[in-house]
Amino acid sequence: MNTRRPHAPAADVWLMAFTIACGVTGIVVSAGWRFGDGHMLPAAILATVAGVALPWRHQRPLAVVTLTTVCAMCQGLLGMLITPLLTAPMTVALYSVGVREDVRVRRTAALISGLGMAASGIALTLRDHEFFLTVVNPVSWALLPVAFGSYVQVRRALAASRAEQAERAREEEAHRRVIEERMRIARELHDVVAHHLALANAQASTAAHLGRSNPEQAFAILDQLSGTTASALRELKATVSVLRQKSDEENLAPAPGLARLPDLTAACAAAGVRVEVVVDGETRDLSPAVDLTAYRIAQEALTNVTKHAAVPEAELRLAYTDRYLTLTVRNALAGPQRAAPGRGYGLTGMRERALSVGGTFHAGRRPDGGFEAACTLPLHHRDPDEGNAP
């Protein structure tokens, strides 16, 4: 360790001057009470030495504690009354140890100063001084700065720990929000791409099947196929644009909702899937988040019908109550399905969407051989990210 005296900053200069002034004041007070009045000059020199040593308290804490303690002991042995003014340099050195050093150094410093003050106090007591003034008070003044400095250190460590925990919590919250945003965008991309590609595939397959037997109908389906792909590109562009925008205000395109069900059923009809829409109860206004969720679940469920149903027919039922909307999509009643549903992310995405707005979702085979996907959604849901979804 470097033992050279560091360049003393202004604070250390003022601290030296203050502690030396306190020490000299303590000597004058002692002389006023007729304690050591004949040894004021040596005592003042000791006070100056103790104060000048303080700038090294951070580099050599135990050495400075020992030096300031020895100076205070010598002043006591010169007959001075050991007061907080006289031990000001020792107090500063001990407080610095309590605030900055570990437990081992703090205990050592407290032991050095406590034993030193006790030894000098006992020596003075043998000279007919009062035990309380010469032993109890100096030992207390030697131990209190270490204890108080240790308390300050613990408080600072606790504050730093709380700040670190708060920062970690903020990072975890930000990470959670990033994951949620990724999942939301992934659901949007899956719904847009899977739905339109399934319709396009069904339209292309139907056109290929009718190419020889009914060319005119095949060409009509191919014309509708271009509209399906164009719609897919528009929705995909709207979804991806959210990733590029700098603020929420830039996304001015309205999110799709149940008002677009006629377009959705028309697209399914173009793919050869007939969809019957049934509305039970009085139609009610939905919050934007619930409206988007209901539309996306209906879209994904009809996409599954297009890909998996044995008979290209489906019933989409909307049941409104005072507080909830129940949306049910059932495929036609017949035969085995062309492919087993639920192997991809469609059902998982629908369940996540329903849960995100406080709703429920279930899907499974019906006793009569069909398949049913149903969700119950609250009519209104306060979403902090409402309006940001494409």
pLDDT digits (tens, 9 = 90+) for 234-280: 666 666 665 555 554 444 455 678 888 888 888 788 777 888 899 99
pLDDT for 230 = 67
Tell me: pLDDT of 340 over 50. no
Nearest to 329 by CA among 289, 276, 369: 276
Nearest to 192 by CA among 365, 356, 59, 346: 346
Region for residue 315 given its phi and psi (left: phi exceeds 0; alpha: psi -120 to 50; beta: otherwise):
beta
pLDDT for 214 = 73
The helix-helix angle for 346-356 and 288-308 (nearest 10°) equals: 160
Among the ranges given (44-58, 111-125, 157-171), the one the predictor scored with the smallest mean pLDDT: 111-125
- Calculate mean pLDDT across residues 135-145: 76
Q: In the structure encoding, which two tokens stand for residue 197, read together?
A: 């590609």
pLDDT band, residue 339 (cuts 50/70/90): very low
Block residue for tokens 């849901």: 381
pLDDT band, residue 317 (cuts 50/70/90): very high
3-state SS class at 364 = strand
- C-alpha distances in angstroms, 170 versus 44, 164, 297? 56, 10, 33
Helices (H), the chain: 10-32, 40-52, 61-77, 88-100, 103-125, 131, 137-210, 215-244, 261-270, 288-308, 346-356
What percent of the chain is predicted at pLDDT more than 90? Answer: 7
pLDDT band, residue 51 (cuts 50/70/90): confident
Q: Write out the DSSP string of 298-340.
A: HHHHHHHHHHH-SSSEEEEEEEE-SSEEEEEEEE-S-S--SS-
- Which range has the top average pLDDT, 112-126, 157-171, 289-303, 316-330? 316-330
- C-alpha distances in angstroms, 118 versus 76, 77, 89, 132, 145? 11, 12, 18, 11, 16
